A and B are shown apart, each in its own frame.
Chain A
């Protein structure tokens, strides 16, 4: 059986290669929205922030640090996805214009 560490390293290795291959194919036109999108996605660390803040015996320190962390990372999620959408909406083809 794999330990958690081994499994995690496995997942990490695969995800890194998948990431490399996918990102290489992203149009250079979209590198700026790409960066804000990956940023919003990596704000998935909100999961960790929720777990530390919401732990049953969370200390005052945990709650305070977790609170700041959730605030920071939710800001990233909301502004990251919305601004990415705002940017990609701007890319239009010539045919779309009159």
Chain B
């Protein structure tokens, strides 16, 4: 049986790889989820059968609780709250890795000479360090996303110095534990420092950087599972952990590029605190329009590109915007959605929110694919997005967002911006798009305003 289970693990690892491969298109993605489920089922069943497992009552109870808690989370969770759930699941996965590492450390103490030597101890230390750190870090991220913690970066003097000193102490303890694994009294201090470090690492990071942070934590959670694989000498854990780790890494690189930031800048930069005071006070004129005027412009437009931001989801306007896109399509317009990589609270979030509102996915376009089309487009409709449409990113070297890739909505013939007020976005800076001659500001709640436009439209369409 010991050999059979290794073959089962090989099949599982293959299924996990296929599972991620099938995520390349929406058409095959459900198959991907299914492959992952089968792989997981095989691995769990194989493990339970092949090894002499004792303490069944503990294991069965834990499984039952996990299932009872997991199902409602999956079905009740609104799509706007998916980032929080993702952060929570990173926390859970990392906690599990850390606790298993801790248990292994104490369990193996009697045979420390043979079983806690050299590399196994390195793996255990990495596993618990990453595990505990990701656990509290993810809880902090979740708190920020759920808005129970302040979205603004929390900073204090010498923050980076304090973090650095803590890190050096933790690293010193780690080395000591690797060399002398029997120093068990050091372990709780080490674990405590890792937990503290996770909190300190995330609190100075602002709400706008959460997509990157979630991706980084995703990577850490995967790597801690991977380290567990090394400690337990289990290749399936190494494969699955490495897949998760590389996925998180790639997503965080994509997010960093989309904001023109570096890793170090995201983690230690405390974005957006200095600039907030600047550039206030000057009141420049803007052009505004009513729903009726907006409707008449949209009605005659042959091509419309909608640029949604997270504000759209905050206003719960996804369904209304889909109705608007349907209505305009019936009028003969070509309607597309332009999705900036950081629209939403985690990578790809905006696509899910629009898909939930039944916007067909072949209407959703990535920034790089659609930016060339704005110049030929009659109306660009910006809803709930701000910094990612600011032309200052292209030319104003003094702007904090200079260099960030943006949606080129300002190149469209007419730009409409639905916005509650003139208040600035996350980066705390004014958007010069709003002051352009071809820009019409539509002030109001996104959902209410789109409904108003819709009311104006069908009356003209008639039986349309």
Contact = CB atoms under 8 A, between A and B. Distances in A.
Contacts of B33: 33, 37, 81, 84-85, 88
Interface stretch (B74-82, B141-149, B262-270, B398-406): B74-82
23 contacts: A8-B235, A12-B242, A15-B238, A19-B246, A22-B24, A22-B243, A28-B339, A30-B29, A34-B247, A37-B33, A39-B218, A46-B96, A48-B97, A62-B107, A66-B103, A68-B95, A77-B70, A78-B66, A80-B89, A90-B356, A91-B351, A91-B361, A94-B360
A45 to B, nearest CB: 4
Contacts of B62: 53, 66-68, 70-71, 74
Nearest to A5: B119
Chain A at the B interface: SS class: helix
A37 B226 contact: no
A62 B360 CA distance: 50
Contacts of B162: none
Residue of B90, B246, B248 most packed against chain A (CB within 10 A): B246
Contacts of A78: 66-67, 69-71, 74
B229 A8 contact: yes
Interface of A: 4-5, 7-8, 11-12, 15-16, 18-20, 22-56, 58-59, 61-63, 65-94, 96-97
A24 B222 CA distance: 17
Interface stretch (B37-45, B173-181, B200-208): B37-45
Contact of A72 (B47, B55, B58, B66): B66
B460 interface: no
A90 B247 contact: no
B73 A75 contact: yes
A2 B171 CA distance: 30
A32 B20 contact: no
A88 B66 CA distance: 23
A27 B93 contact: no
Given A37-B23, A55-B107, 7 more contacts: A8-B238, A16-B246, A32-B349, A35-B346, A43-B96, A44-B225, A49-B99
Contact of B247 (A7, A35, A82): A35
Given A15-B242, A39-B86, A58-B54, A33 B235 contact: no
A62 B21 contact: no
Contacts of A47: 43-44, 47, 232, 234, 236-237
Interface residues of B, number: 113
Residue of A75, A84, A97 most packed against chain B (CB within 10 A): A75
B364 interface: yes
Contacts, number: 375
Contact of A39 (B90, B228, B246, B339): B90
B107 A45 contact: no
B272 interface: no
Contacts of B32: 37, 88
B92 A76 contact: yes
Interface in B302-344: 339, 341, 344
B352 A7 contact: no
A71 B62 CA distance: 5
Contacts of A20: 246, 249-250
Contacts of A29: 26, 348, 351, 355, 361, 364
Contact of B233 (A8, A15, A68): A8
A59 B25 CA distance: 47
B244 A42 contact: yes
A91 to B, nearest CB: 4
A63 B173 CA distance: 26
Nearest to B244: A42
